[in-house]
Structure 1
Amino acid sequence: MSEMARNMPQGTAKMPEILPPLRGRTRLGRRIFDDENLDLLSHVLDDWFRIPGTSIRFGIDGIIGLVPGVGDILAGLASCVIVVAAWFRGVPYVTLARMVANLGIDVLIGAIPLLGDAFDIAWKANRRNYALLTRHIAEPHRHTWKDAIFLGAILLALSVVFTLPGLLVWWLIVQLVRGH
């Protein structure tokens, strides 16, 4: 019996109520990385609003992206929540790599003024990443040929991007040496 219960008059002693810990739960009692919350986040970022009279939908990502410099970075940081949730939920590394590539494409091309914002509205990286997350949670070890082709194309593009500057420097050095 607790000290408090012993000091109370007989018949009035009550044991304090013990509540379970809130580990990983918000005040509303939902986990931050639940499907419902991630689906809502991807909708808010990618297709929350609709242009009246059209089927064109856009989200906060497209609006924030209009702010030069920091807009796409802030939207990219918000988009990282879905990728981090996928990692916590045990999505395979191939899928995580594809999600990061989707996000990287969104941020890099989205940084181009106006054209990038139109791309953000069309690309919808967050909806793509949420679909990848739910597909791989439902079918944990299934990778499609699309996953392999997408990653191969990304690796090829990255190799070109990192090789071109080296080739350019090498060409400039050769030109300087021949010129002297």
Structure 2
Amino acid sequence: MAKTPAVASPEILPPLRNRTRLGRRLFDDENLDLLAHVLDDWFRIPGTSIRFGIDGIIGLVPGLGDILAGLASCVIVVAAWFRGVPYVTLTRMVVNLAIDVLIGSIPLLGDAFDIAWKANRRNYALLSRHLAEPHRHTWKDAVFLGMILLVLAAIFALPGLVLWWIVARLLHGY
């Protein structure tokens, strides 16, 4: 009997363009929703409706905890930017995150605020709203940005007003 040579069949691989990249998988809705859930409301205090996440726990470490939680929260904002969310919405998301980190850095009171504020849930809701209705901005967006601009203007104007008041007092001899 004569042996027939084995015919090699080529290995078929999927084309590179069909493979999902890490960035696409990381920024999927399911993963971002899970991240917001883990950071903001993964645990529940038994017998209550109070939920908290890793953000509230690592926020107990003074200073460093809130910074680390803020960095983890940046994933949702970066994902929104990659997915084409408009700058108005991105600004709202960054302000939600800044409020969470700044007030959250206050010992104990800030941790209670973190549990109530749930910035990651808010930011994921903003991202989801934009993806569902891409070109729709509500009046709340405009009012929110207007209020942020007013607060920033007050913050920057306050030192100048205090300095002017001190100089006026010194010049008039009071």
| Structure 1: gaps spanning 5 or more residues | 1-8
Structure 2: how far apart are the matches of 1:172 and 1:24? 59
Runs of 4+ aligned residues of structure 1 deviating over 6 Å after TM superposition are none
- Deviation of the 1:62 alpha carbon: 0.6
Q: Establish whether residue 51 from structure 1 lines up as the match of residue 45 from structure 2.
A: yes
Residue of structure 1 in register with 2:150 after alignment: 156
Structure 1: how far apart are the matches of 2:105 and 2:25? 32
Residue of structure 2 in register with 1:128 after alignment: 122
Structure 2: how far apart are the matches of 1:93 and 1:69? 29
- Deviation of the 1:15 alpha carbon: 2.6
Letter in 2 for 1:81: V
Instruction: Please give the secondary structure, in 1, of the residue aligned with 2:22.
Output: coil
Structure 2: how far apart are the matches of 1:112 and 1:161? 19
Q: Give the one of 129, 134, 138 matched to 1:140.
A: 134
Q: Establish whether residue 78 from structure 1 lines up as the match of residue 72 from structure 2.
A: yes
Q: Establish whether residue 96 from structure 1 lines up as the match of residue 90 from structure 2.
A: yes
TM-score, reference length from structure 2: 0.88
What do residues 20-52 of structure 1 show as CA deviations (whole Å, max 9, x unaligned)? 4445238xxx71000000000000000000000
- Percent sequence identity over aligned pairs: 76
| Structure 2: gaps spanning 5 or more residues | none
Structure 2: how far apart are the matches of 1:100 and 1:111? 16
Structure 2: how far apart are the matches of 1:129 and 1:38? 10
Letter in 2 for 1:13: A
Structure 1: how far apart are the matches of 2:84 and 2:117? 25
Question: What is the Cα-based RMSD across aligned positions, in Å?
Answer: 2.1
- Deviation of the 1:166 alpha carbon: 2.3
How many residues align? The count is: 169
- Deviation of the 1:17 alpha carbon: 4.0
